[in-house]
Structure 1
Amino acid sequence: MNTRPVVLVLLLLVLVITSQFEWKQQIGEAAEADPATARRRQQLLAREDAVKEKIILSQEKNIQQLNQLIESLQRQLLHCRGSNNTVHAATAAAAAAAATEVSEVEGHEIIEDENRR
């Protein structure tokens, strides 16, 4: 077997592959140097920035709405607590009044029982 032709074919193959990589790299650099491509890239970046800005504004709006809901719920909770305290105080006052009436009635009954004896 002749090794010389095989080595030459392998070297030629390596040369072709490396030249293709260099050629693609040069095309990429040339495309970056093209003003139209640079302008398109700037436009794409500007669009991305605009979309990001819209997303941020939308999130801020949602946060504000959530904060308003939290404040509303806190007010409702305070109102409910106030109503509950009022009902509890009224119930306690009514119970105390009922207990006082019962004590007075029992006191009168005891006095009447003692008078009967």
Structure 2
Amino acid sequence: MVLTSQLDWNQKIVNDVEARSSVLSRKQQYVLDRKESVKEKIILSQEKQIQKLKTLVQSLQEQLQHCKSKDEFVNDTTGSLTEVLNDMKQQQQQQQIME
């Protein structure tokens, strides 16, 4: 009878340990799953930010190209106007010399 009680008692301890181990294992798995979920959310958020930055960079490059085109036009026009003004000055000087 004592032997049976000890075996029952030992079995009860083993069962308790296994139950606690199972609970701990489930908790650990839950924690690992949550960590993985958080990592995935962070990665998705970073990918969205990267895409926004790429779009912004592309827009800024287009604006820069547009400004360069305007600058080239202004420089070409200014150069032409300068030539016209110089020609007019020369003509005025020649007319003054002839008079």
Structure with the greater alpha carbon radius of gyration? 1
Equivalent residue for 1:93?
80
Q: Which amino acid aligns with 2:52?
A: Q
Name the CA shift for 1:64/1:32 in 2 (closer, same or farther; >3 Å).
farther
Alpha-carbon distance change, 31 to 53 in structure 1, aligned in 2, over 3 angstroms: farther
TM-score normalised by length of structure 2 = 0.74
Superposed structure 1 runs of 4+ greater than 3 Å apart = 30-33
Over the aligned positions, Cα root-mean-square deviation in angstroms equals 1.9
- Verify: 1:69 aligned to 2:78, yes or no: no
Q: Mark the runs of 5 or more structure 1 residues left unpaired by the alignment.
A: 1-29
5+ residue gaps, structure 2, are: 1-16
TM-score under structure 1 length normalisation: 0.63
What is the count of residue pairs matched by the alignment? 83
Letter in 1 for 2:21: D
1:52 aligns with 2:39: yes
Identity of aligned residues (%): 35
Q: Closer, same or farther in 2 for the Cα pair 1:33/1:53, shift >3 Å? A: same
Higher relative contact order (CA 8 A, sep 6+): 1
